[in-house]
Structure 1
């Protein structure tokens, strides 16, 4: 069993906003396993959600790039040493250029990216030059290229680059991509993703292990009620439905208008354009995770 240190209790408290003593009890019950301790607190109904606190080890930014035709894009995380540099336009601009290289040259990994051509040189040489100019170490932490054949992409950057995403939309008519109605819808959906951090675009895309894990928590909570098993099952399923509505993008209430869901917004936009607009997927990066 891992030692229950004050630092571990503090970390659990920051992650769950739960009382210090309850955190300590949960860690004892979970034998020092912080992830299991979170589940203990959730089962007890003390922790409602888990923050992603305490994972940032440095500073930096998340940048995105989407091609002019909206078909290809990339998201990239670039780290540095201080917040001052992390918000410097020269640094954030360089990160955006790196994202463009990823989108256009499709490197397999960070080493392949460093070998890519950039401004008549290589990414590695340009990165080294940027380190010398700014005077801080920098590192490409991760990136992902995104493309769509029949549709378009949209990106959104929040909190000065601490959160960013690329949303992928599919539709039948090529001209829909240029329509103002689609552009507004795509921007709003990308903003929604940054604001709410959904786990998937549709419930079918939620990993089976995530569904099983959530259901096990809800069943344990229902068991605490002492009600008949059939009622407990309905309670657990009801809470799972609530989970989908809260964490599945297309089922979420639109942050700008709670009377409509993202799926409802997609249907309205589809009707306006005489096309079928679908929110296919998204990539969300939160800096330091």
Structure 2
């Protein structure tokens, strides 16, 4: 029977290594709760310093594109690193391509991370949840817990770094980036992206045009 890993154990390991919470949890589970063994595991993987590197300035990088089969979906993504040397590495280019493909596959994603979501969007989602009938008769504290859980889930659906990596669903995009930070030795940031859908917005314009024609006919 494996030893249960507590939140305090995870926090302790994170404070000692600077590695991500999920990486610490996995290392502790693999070492059956032995902090020293877990530290050694994280150091071997290079993850012990990934979080510290993630605060460094990243102004180099590249813009990658992906056009899906049939040419109906296109994506541009800007991926930043610290030096031009890393930007030219095949592994960095492959990461950028994988991210572009991920964005083409996950069309509900609108932002890189929660920090990029405007406050009015968060308030809008809260108002939708507040108006749902299934929580109308709940006590206030329970209602707030339910809404918080639903909002957190909804915001994750909108964010790229919270998605499961389509090529390896055992890790998130956030973990994928940290793995590459550890491997390439530099901070890596997804700065921005743009998704293009063939014909997007044209239907509304057609509807508006038809309405205008009807008005013209009715006014004659």
Does the aligned pair in 2 maintain the 1:244–1:251 contact within 8 Å?
no
Does the aligned pair in 2 maintain the 1:151–1:170 contact within 8 Å?
yes
Superposition map of 1:179-218 within 5 A: 179-197=89-107, 198-218=109-129
More helix by share: 2
What is the TM-score normalised by the length of structure 1?
0.46
2:178 is aligned to: 267
Does residue 282 (structure 1) correspond to residue 190 (structure 2)? The answer is no
Does the aligned pair in 1 maintain the 2:60–2:87 contact within 8 Å?
no
Query: 1:239 Cα deviation (Å)?
Result: 0.8
What's the secondary structure of 2:193's corresponding residue? strand
Which deviates the most, 155-164 or 215-224?
215-224
2:64 is aligned to: 154
Distance in 2 between the 1:192 and 1:153 partners?
A: 15
Given the alignment, which residue of 128, 131, 144 partners 1:220? 131
Q: Which runs of 5+ in 2 are unaligned?
A: 1-57, 201-220
Does the aligned pair in 1 maintain the 2:59–2:81 contact within 8 Å?
no
When the two chains are superposed, the root-mean-square deviation of aligned CA atoms in Å is 1.8
> Number of aligned pairs?
142
Distance in 2 between the 1:238 and 1:149 partners?
A: 35
Query: 1:223 Cα deviation (Å)?
Result: 5.6
Query: 1:246 Cα deviation (Å)?
Result: 1.7
Task: For residues 64-110 of structure 1, give each alpha carbon's deviation from its aligned partner in whole angstroms, at most 9, with x where no partner exists.
Answer: xxxxxxxxxxxxxxxxxxxxxxxxxxxxxxxxxxxxxxxxxxxxxxx
Distance in 1 between the 2:133 and 2:171 partners?
A: 30
1:139 is aligned to: none
What's the secondary structure of 2:138's corresponding residue? coil
Compared with structure 1, are the counterparts of its residues 231 and 264 closer, same or farther at alpha carbon in structure 2 (3 Å cutoff)? same
2:163 is aligned to: 252
Query: 1:285 Cα deviation (Å)?
Result: 1.1
1:8 is aligned to: none
Distance in 1 between the 2:126 and 2:167 partners?
A: 30
Q: Which runs of 5+ in 1 are unaligned?
A: 1-147
What's the secondary structure of 2:171's corresponding residue? strand
Query: 1:219 Cα deviation (Å)?
Result: 2.0
Give every structure 1 segment of 4 or more consecutive aligned residues whose post-TM-superposition deviation is greater than 4 Å.
none
1:172 is aligned to: 82
Task: For residues 178-231 of structure 1, give each alpha carbon's deviation from its aligned partner in whole angstroms, at most 9, with x where no partner exists.
Answer: 212211211111000011021111111122222211111122227635211111
Relative contact order higher in (CA < 8 Å, ≥ 6 apart): 2
Compared with structure 1, are the counterparts of its residues 232 and 222 closer, same or farther at alpha carbon in structure 2 (3 Å cutoff)? farther
More strand by share: 1
